[in-house]
Structure 1
């Protein structure tokens, strides 16, 4: 706990310091960008990207997108802007740029990339850096962004099954599915601690119905067995136990 108390002020101080520097740099970049033509702006943005300065790249690309929205570089500018916003951790701007690109360019050759980046952005938004730094369990955190990421990747695979991003999207969907199932288990455990056994059993049932290929199925069945036992619902308990024995014969619940 002592480490936790030390980390928070240091991290907050670093954020404040960086925010001040970032604001100053943004103003300077705006002045420089205002005096550049389209190609010079794009060259400046690409140089920033190559140097890993994605915040500066985003500033240049945003200026280019605003001043020359219909230029020959417009599509590539928007795609680079999506990536730069994403790498800068600006999820709201990333999603807004992605949605605009998809809406205006539904038949573009790289629209599958836009869908893929939408999934990545929502998936990243579900992570909490500060909680991870201090070792806090994130299992019961609201999974709304994970659900959105799952839908984004599913849409990519459905519309573009041959996309070069499809294979990675499928892997990420497996990861997200396990995360969502784990969330349901955490909520079920919460209900059990409060002796709300019907609600807990329903969470277990939900996992079986919606995430049958996740890594939380065993726990879901064990929860159902325990809850039905507490509720004296013998038939439901026996059915859950049979399924548990069949699929997880080494479970501690089997005696």
Structure 2
């Protein structure tokens, strides 16, 4: 979807809402009532640019790649004609421009404001989607704090749950999957750190989180193998065997499974699933099940 195409359709015939959209007009009226002789209401109203003109100028600047000037035009609409149809449209386009300019927090703030003010507006789904994109763009490398991933998931879930028929759902779900993989990857990084330090309980807890909380991510395969390694080092052979069995069932051709199988063989063991284990129960929800 192109931003300009989505927002140009059907707007040419819109008229401004009657007697709405003159920011500061109430201040002018108040000044007149207080006897200020220098303010002429008719002149003030005439000095405002028409909303449709500003909007079209904003779109033209966007198409020309002049996002800064486009932002000025849309901002002028929201200030001068806030309660008009164009005022609402300009809020959404301003959110988009801020996102394109890399002003992620500003885009998040304005997108949320639009959704809060107009939750049932046809453009609310798009505004919420931009909020999710702005968080998504801030997702860092897996070695860093993954709070933007969690926020991206939350924002995109809003798109999926509140606007299930919108055209943004498929991409929102794809970005949720990516962000969840990032969160799982962070758990794996911390788990490997504990495993290297032989802090086995802490390591096992991290790998378990991946298997139980993020079962449909790419990290699960390694998480199960690391659980085999961790439980085996702790002497919890039944749990190690179960983790290996679940790994083999879901990823039979995996190198992680081959390595886990060899590790068990060093102790005269082989994969064997204990149906009462949490690993067995969690295994029923894995991506390869």
**TM above 0.5:** yes
Measured on the aligned residues, the alpha-carbon RMSD in Å equals 1.7
Report the Cα offset of residue 36 of structure 1.
6.1
Return the offset for 1:72: 3.4
**How far apart, in 1, do the equivalents of 2:220 and 2:145 lie?**
20
1:144 to 127, 147, 158: 147
Match of 2:157 among 154, 158, 182: 154
SS in 1 for 2:260: coil
Instruction: Classify the secondary structure of the residue corresponding to 1:161.
Output: coil
Please list the CA deviations of residues 19-42 of structure 1 after superposition, one character each: whole Å capped at 9, or x if unmatched: xxxxxxxxxxxxxxxx86143433
1:125 to 121, 127, 138: 138
Instruction: Note the 1:100-249 alignment, pairs <5 A.
Output: 100-127=113-140, 138-249=141-252
The CA distance in 2 between the partners of 1:240 and 1:191, in whole Å, is 19
Greater helix fraction, Structure 1 or Structure 2:
1
Deviating beyond 6 angstroms after TM superposition, the runs of 4 or more aligned structure 1 residues are none
**2:54 is aligned with 1:46:** no
Q: TM-score, normalised by structure 2?
A: 0.69
In structure 2, C-alpha distance between the alignment counterparts of 1:36 and 1:44, rounded to whole Å: 14
Counterpart for residue 90 of structure 1: 103
- Give distance in 2, aligned partners of 1:144 and 1:187: 15
Tell me which residue corresponds to 2:81: 68
Is there any run of 5+ residues in structure 2 with no aligned partner, and where? Answer: 1-46, 263-289
Aligned length: 211
Contact 2:194 2:203 in 1 (8 A): yes
Partner of 1:99: 112
Distance 1:160 1:43 in 2: 28
1:89 is displaced (CA, Å) by 0.4
Q: Aligned pair 1:37/2:33, yes or no? A: no
Q: So what's the TM-score if we normalise by structure 1?
A: 0.77
Q: Give 3-state SS (helix, strand or coil) of 1:253's partner.
A: helix
SS in 1 for 2:217: coil
Per-residue deviation at 1:77?
0.3
Alpha carbons 2:135, 2:148 under 8 Å: kept: yes
Match of 1:3 in 2: none
Structure 1: gaps (5+ residues):
1-34, 128-137
Is the Cα–Cα contact under 8 Å of residues 187 and 207 in structure 2 kept in the other structure?
yes
Q: Is the 8 A contact 2:77 2:86 kept in 1?
A: no
2: distance between equivalents of 1:190 and 1:51? Answer: 50
Q: Deviations over 1:140-168 (max 9, x none)?
A: 21111111111211221112221111111
Say if 1:204 and 1:223, in contact at 8 Å, map to a contact too.
yes
- Larger radius of gyration between Structure 1 and Structure 2: 2
Partner of 1:254: 261
